Amino acid sequence: MTTSMEKPPATEVGVLGWLKKNLFSTWYDALLTIGSLAFIYWVLRGVIKWAYTKATFSAEPGVCKEARAAAAAAGETAGACWGVVITNIKVFMIGRYPSQESWRILVSLGIVAVLAVLTWWIWRSQNMRGARRWVVIGWLLSLPVITILLRGFSEKSQILPLVPTEIWSGLLLTLVLAIVGIVASFPLGVLLALGRRSTLPALKVFCTMYIETIRGVPLITILFMSQLLLPIFLPPQIRFGTVLRALVGMTLFSAAYSAENVRGGLAAIPLGQYEAAKAVGLNDALMMALIVLPQAIQKVIPAIVGQFISLFKDTTLVVIIGLLDLLGVSKAVTGQQEYIGLHKEVYLFAALIYFIFSYAMSSGSRRLEVTMGVGER
């Protein structure tokens, strides 16, 4: 008895099968596909024409003007002038940070890069668990080291002359605001979360009120508070610069959101963990620090990364209080006489940089979720 194996019909497998299954399964599916194709064609054609075919890439401002005049004469829409981005790339990155001191930023980036590579390498191999502690210490030490490196000692210092935080700008300021904001707000958020779950009514009411008030108002009001109200409610002897005040505002704001994330993790810890910790004789503080918090925080790492991404995006709001972060610098560039009317190029470039950072963080968090199996549990 021989049965000849029939091949599946050509329309069910391979490229044709894929096309039929994913693009043309029904008549309205086919309509949708054709509509989408037309849409993609229209968008891509416009974008490529504007950003590449008709665009000028010269740093000379004259080239761009000529191209625009020619396009206007021909009655066409002009292409992009990428010259504005190419000329100002350094301004976007470090803004008004003095050029002769920019090596300090490179060294700081180097420190971060070395630490990142070390972390990745040591966490991957199983037999270097002992080294993990040193990496963590390295990360903790890097913060003050980089701060000193970037800020310097005093104006007269020969080695590291002072670069006041007021003139930090561009992407540098964006990253400083985001990193310091998350590092400073996280411990505060943990304390607030513990306070909100506390059995002491006074503490609980205070923390709940703080968290809910902050979460009910926009970040811009908090930044406004840090700029205008801090000087009023603090004695004249205590004064800090605008950047530091903005950082205080971002930290106070972000802490309320971190607190809610951590609280979510705390709520997910089974009561047995608390009881077991008590049974082996740990006091409340040790129970929290060694048993409950590590598990709670691990459970909500994706949420914390999400919070970091939104804090990173929220740093743009400092533009409204007059700081020159990446967006502020972009706005300043578009305001210059020779770059008039080049808003599209500049803001698209800024958007691209923000996108690269947040997309990297969100896809990193997704991979972390998979490796930790958070989604499955």
Partner 1 sequence: MTHSSSAYSAARHGAVPFWRDIRVLRVIAQIVFVIVVLAIGAWLLGNYRSWLAERNLTFSYRFLRLQASFDLAEGISFKPTDSYARAFLVGVVNTLRVASVGIVLATLLGLVTGVARLSRNWLVSHISSVYIELIRNTPLLVQLFFLYFAVILKLPQLKAGDDITALTLPGPIYLSNRGLAMPWLRPSGSFGSWWPFLLAALVAAVVLLSLRARGVQRTGRPSFNFLWVVLAFLAIPAIGWLVVPGNPLVLDVPVIKGLRARGGTILSPEYVALTLGLVIYTGAFIAEVVRAGIQAVPKGQSEAARAQGFTEMQILRLIVLPQALRVIIPPLISQYLNLTKNSSLAIGIGFLDLYAVSSTMLNQSGRVVEVFLMIMAAYLSMSLSISLVMNIVNRRIQIVER
Query: What does the binding site for partner 1 look like in residue numbers (CB under 8 A)?
Result: 22-23, 25, 29, 32-33, 36-37, 39-40, 199-203, 206, 213, 216-221, 224-225, 228-229, 232-235, 309, 313-317, 319-320, 327, 330-331, 334, 341, 343-344, 347-348, 350-351, 354-355, 358-359, 362
CB-nearer residue toward partner 1: 36 or 157: 36
Q: CB-based burial of residue 258 (10 Å sphere; 0-12 exposed, 13-18 middle, 19+ buried)?
A: buried
CB-nearer residue toward partner 1: 44 or 148: 44
In sequence order, what E strands does the chain have? none
CB-nearer residue toward partner 1: 157 or 336: 336
What's the one-letter identity of residue 97?
Answer: Y
Instruction: State the minimum distance, in angstroms, from the CB of residue 57 to partner 1.
Output: 19
Query: What is the DSSP annotation of 297-322?
Result: HHHTHHHHHHHHHHHHHHGGGGGTTT
* Residue linked to tokens 């949420």: 303
CA distances from 115 to 136, 186, 290, 297 (A): 9, 21, 26, 22
CB-nearer residue toward partner 1: 32 or 141: 32
What's the one-letter identity of residue 325?
Answer: D
End-to-end alpha-carbon separation of the chain, Å?
Answer: 51
Instruction: State the minimum distance, in angstroms, from the CB of residue 80 to partner 1.
Output: 11
* Nearest of 289, 262, 265, 292 to residue 374 by alpha carbon: 265
Instruction: State the minimum distance, in angstroms, from the CB of residue 233 to partner 1.
Output: 4
Q: CB-based burial of residue 38 (10 Å sphere; 0-12 exposed, 13-18 middle, 19+ buried)?
A: exposed
Instruction: State the minimum distance, in angstroms, from the CB of residue 314 to partner 1.
Output: 7
Alpha carbon distance 97, 162 (integer Å):
11
CB-nearer residue toward partner 1: 163 or 171: 171
Instruction: State the minimum distance, in angstroms, from the CB of residue 154 to partner 1.
Output: 29
Instruction: State the minimum distance, in angstroms, from the CB of residue 37 to partner 1.
Output: 7
Q: CB-based burial of residue 72 (10 Å sphere; 0-12 exposed, 13-18 middle, 19+ buried)?
A: exposed
CB-nearer residue toward partner 1: 199 or 337: 199
CB-nearer residue toward partner 1: 136 or 268: 268
Instruction: State the minimum distance, in angstroms, from the CB of residue 91 to partner 1.
Output: 17
Token couple for 44: 């891509």
